[in-house]
Amino acid sequence: MSGFWIMLTGALVAACCGILGCFLILRRMALVGDAISHSVLPGIVIAFLVSGSRDSFFMLFGAAIIGFLTVFLIQMFQQSGVQSDASIGVVFTSLFAAGVLLVSLNAQHVDLDLDCVLYGEIAYVQWNSLTIGGVDLGPKAVWLLGITLFIIVALITLFYKQFKLCAFDPALAAAIGIPVALFHYVLMGLVSMATVSSFESVGAILVVGLLIVPPATAYLLTDRLGTMIGLSLVIGVISSIAGYYVAAALDASIAGCMVCVAGVLFVLAFLFSPSHGFVVRKLRQRVSTAREAY
């Protein structure tokens, strides 16, 4: 039964990250997820110091606040003329360093495992269950990720055209009256929510792999956004299930194996994609050259 919960948790993380990752890649903002996953550390530490509890609710609340702060600071610096990659780098390295500093200053009083925060341990997800009225309802992570996925799907479905147009042509979207800045912050808020909801089980760093790799793989396989989102979901779920079995066979990190499987699928798509595959393009060039020779 534990294997089922692990694979379900991984699939939910991949689904949350895969949907949003498609829009981030189209907007060339994939590193925003990396920034949020690193910068939430001070929020976790501050929440622990203020509440004195390791309850996941307080840590998630603190991480969510810092996640939104990260998005706001990155956008503010970009609007002030700082380049996008520089804004992301400055914000997430500064906040992550602040989190490390807080941990080091309170090392004697804070029982906080940095490895757990950064890398997670999805193998233990079934032990942290949600109990209401003495009834065990299953792992908390599954409920949290399920609610997050529902919110993401609901908002993307309701405003799909707006998100799509803002991703492909923000100037046109603004010209026809779509509040581009509002949808930008909504998207970044969803990314922050997905990252914060996922890091407790998968880890703050490894969640970046699921946020980028499956959507990037899907991007190589299709030129339609709807199909890209669907492929990203499928690739993410396959990566989660296959990664679990690979980890069991190798006795290795489960979350790490999930991302590694996603990476293998990306390499296969990069080589053999019908439209963008490296091998396919080389074969077409050879065929074209041979035809010209004759």
**204-216 per-position pLDDT tens digit:** 667 888 888 999 9
Between 276 and 18, where is the model more confident? Answer: 18
Q: How confident is the model at residue 40 (pLDDT cuts 50, 70, 90)?
A: confident
| Nearest Cα to Cα of residue 239 among 1, 44, 2, 17 | 17
Contact in structure between 43 and 63 (CB atoms under 8 Å)? yes
Measure the CA–CA gap between 276 and 222, rounded to whole angstroms. Answer: 9
Q: How confident is the model at residue 150 (pLDDT cuts 50, 70, 90)?
A: very high
Mean pLDDT of 261-266: 94
Mean pLDDT of 163-169: 89
Measure the CA–CA gap between 40 and 56, rounded to whole angstroms. Answer: 13
Contact in structure between 270 and 277 (CB atoms under 8 Å)? yes
Between 201 and 237, where is the model more confident? Answer: 237
Token pair of 114 as six digits:
């940095």
Mean pLDDT of 153-164: 93
Q: What is the pTM of this model?
A: 0.84
Three-state secondary structure call for residue 16: helix
User: Angle formed by the axes of helices 56-79 and 180-202, to 10°?
Assistant: 140
Mean pLDDT of 102-118: 59
DSSP E strands in 119-217: the ranges are: 129-132, 135-139
Mean pLDDT, the chain, rounded, equals 81
- What do you get for the CA distance between the two ends of the chain, in Å? 63
Mean pLDDT of 198-207: 70
Residue 200's pLDDT is: 66
Contacts 24+ apart (CB under 8 A), 122-130: 122/6, 122/9, 122/10, 122/201, 122/202, 122/254, 122/255, 123/2, 123/6, 123/254, 125/5, 125/6, 125/9, 125/201, 126/1, 126/2, 126/5, 126/6, 128/56
Please give the distance of CA 28 from its chain centroid, rounded to a whole number. 14
Residue 1 has pLDDT above 70, yes or no: no
Q: Which residue has the tokens 């669907």?
A: 230
Measure the CA–CA gap between 120 and 258, rounded to whole angstroms. Answer: 13
